[in-house]
Structure 1
Amino acid sequence: MTVQTERPPSSPADVRKSGDSPSAGPRPRAASRAGALAPYLLLLPAVAATVLLLGWPLLKDLLLSFQNLNMAQLIQHVTEWNGVDNYKEVLTGEDFWRVTLRSILFTAVNVALTMLLGALTGLLLARLGRRMRLTLMIGLVLAWAMPVVAATTVYQWLFAQRFGVVNWVLDKLGWHSMADYSWTGSQMSTFFVVTVLIVWMSVPFVAINLYAATTTIPGELYEAAALDGAGAWRSFTTVTLPFLRPFLYATTFLEIIWIFKAFVQVFTFNGGGPDRLTEILPVYAYIEGVGNQHYGMGAAIAVLTILIMLGLTAYYLRIVLKQEEDES
């Protein structure tokens, strides 16, 4: 009787385990290449859409800023290149620098108020009960979801000179001089209403996202702080604030961009008036370009606006990164 000590290969799979297959080597390398290319292929549609919808208009605007394009050239289909004359005229004029300073101050005030009120509202949401929190969040979402033009129209009605609700309420409260007050008659009053409008529409985004960030803070940290004798303020500064700091940095960055280019609210409410005293850079570019039919000049102002906004955001990001390095 013969005893078999080795089991013969019973299937092709057993043979492949021995590594004799010539195709065993290249397959992992091909798979690794495909895996490395997969993220770039997934990003390709987004990059293509960005280049098409954003890059091409920016390029056209840049080319237009080097042209002398008025209504006459537009009708005759004539292209007149004038080099950097548009930029020289804008940069050597006082109006551009006055509007730039106004835009920066306008953005700073609105961002500060939005972040302060939004942070307080978000912390309030974290403290409220379930029903009150749901009610407040519904109101915030409705204010946030309202179209900008519709919200601006509502504020025009509220602050109307003759039949506005605000003037009527102030008159009933004893301020009889406000019964027929024109909120669009001066620079400060117009900016006040526009600021209230922008902050009202921006606070919900900050509040809801900050509340969502507070839900990620472990409760054990508050318990440990309480055992160490920390009060409400110390718990906020040592536990809550460090967790919310990255969110506050990112949200402030977004608010700077959104408020700096707040064209619709300013232009729809009073057209940059009175006497063009409430123009910010986007409104200034539109009025100079489309309103005065000097499209090359408007394009140059738009390009400079983009550069100023990039400079402000870069300066802010530099401050944020420096603070993070100091903390680490």
Structure 2
Amino acid sequence: MPPLTATVVWGWIFDPEYGLVNWLLYNITDDAKWLNHSWLFNPWSFFMVLTIIIVWQGVPFAAFAFYAGLGQVPGEVLEAASLDGANGWKRFWQITFPYMRNIVTGVLVLEVIWNLRIFTQVYALQERGGITSQTNVLPVYLFRQGVGEIGMTAAIGMVMVVVLVILSIGNVRQTLKHEEL
């Protein structure tokens, strides 16, 4: 689902007046404090809503990647370990995880890179009621700095590029090291 569409839907779910979350909490607790409760006004709850959106969008990729990786673990090796008396934890840590190490590393690095560049979700939530100065992330801050502060904007952009390059180099080195073994 496109990020803006997902954010709009989650914005409706957490809407102060008509949101599903406030309605459920009011009906479960019978406490009137949940009526017209703004989830986006407080920075802590703003980032909680943002985390829910980001995790919801990132889970399918990770799940499919891990599922595909589990298909690459040889069943014969798992069966042999089971016959040798290895319990589930030992089979996971000594057989399954080493086979999936590259996939786990790749997924983690990709998710970190993708989450370092979130813009649409934060910007859309800020437009729905978040306090801009207290809920910025680097890409949104970079955008809001804009043309007025070219030096600061360029510095922030370069820091983001350096962090992403370091993460990418680490991922490539880790993958090449394991492929050589």
TM-score by length of 2: 0.87
CA contact (8 A) 1:214 1:240 kept: yes
Q: Distance in 2 between matches of 1:296 and 1:183?
A: 33
Partner of 1:248: 104
How far off is 1:313 after superposition?
4.5
Q: Secondary structure at the match of 1:259?
A: helix
- For 1:219 and 1:201, locate their aligned partners in 2 and report how far apart those are by CA, in whole Å: 31
Work out whether residues 167 and 179 of structure 1, in 8 Å CA contact, stay in contact via their aligned partners in 2.
Answer: yes
In the alignment, what sits opposite 2:91?
A: 235
Work out which of the residue numbers 155, 162, 167 in structure 2 matches 1:307: 162
CA contact (8 A) 2:106 2:171 kept: no
SS of equivalent residue, structure 2 residue 106: helix
Separation in structure 2 between the aligned mates of residue 235 and residue 175 of structure 1, nearest angstrom = 48
Measured in 1, the distance between the counterparts of 2:94 and 2:155 equals 48
Query: 1:51-130 counterparts in 2 under 5 A?
Result: none
Amino acid of the residue matched to residue 140 of structure 2?
V
Matched, 1:283 2:140: yes
Correspondence for 2:37 among 167, 181, 186: 181
The 1-side partners of 2:167 and 2:86 are apart by 38
Compute the displacement of 1:310 (Å): 2.6
Amino acid at match of 2:23: W
Return 5+ residue gaps in structure 1 as ranges. 1-145
The aligned counterpart of 1:192 is: 48
Listed as ranges, the gaps of 5+ residues in structure 2 are: none
Partner residue of 1:54?
none
* CA RMSD of superposed structures (Å): 2.3
Q: CA deviation at 1:204?
A: 0.4
Change (3 A) 1:245 1:202: same
Which structure 2 residues correspond to residues 209-224 of structure 1 after superposition, within 5 A? 209-224=65-80
Partner of 1:154: 9
More helix by share: 2
Report 1:25-44 matches (<5 A).
Answer: none
The one-letter amino acid of 1:224's match is: A
Identity %: 35
User: Which protein has the larger Cα radius of gyration, Structure 1 or Structure 2?
Assistant: 1
Structure 1 CA distance for aligned equivalents of residues 89 and 174 of structure 2? 24
- Give the TM-score of the pair, scaled to structure 1: 0.49
Name the CA shift for 1:199/1:216 in 2 (closer, same or farther; >3 Å). Answer: same
Structure 2 letter corresponding to 1:185 = F
Matched with 1:262 is 118
Matching residue's letter, 1:269: L
In structure 2, distance between residues paired with 1:303 and 1:245: 30
1:171 paired residue among 26, 39, 51: 26
Cα-to-partner distance string for 1:272-297 (whole Å, 9 max, x where unaligned): 941411111110010010xxx41624
Equivalent residue of 2:79, what SS? helix
Aligned residues: 175
Answer whether contact 2:109 2:167 (CA < 8 A) is retained: no
Compute the displacement of 1:217 (Å): 1.4
Residue 22 of structure 2 contacts residue 37 of structure 2 at CA under 8 Å; is this kept in 1? yes
Distance 2:130 2:167 in 1: 26
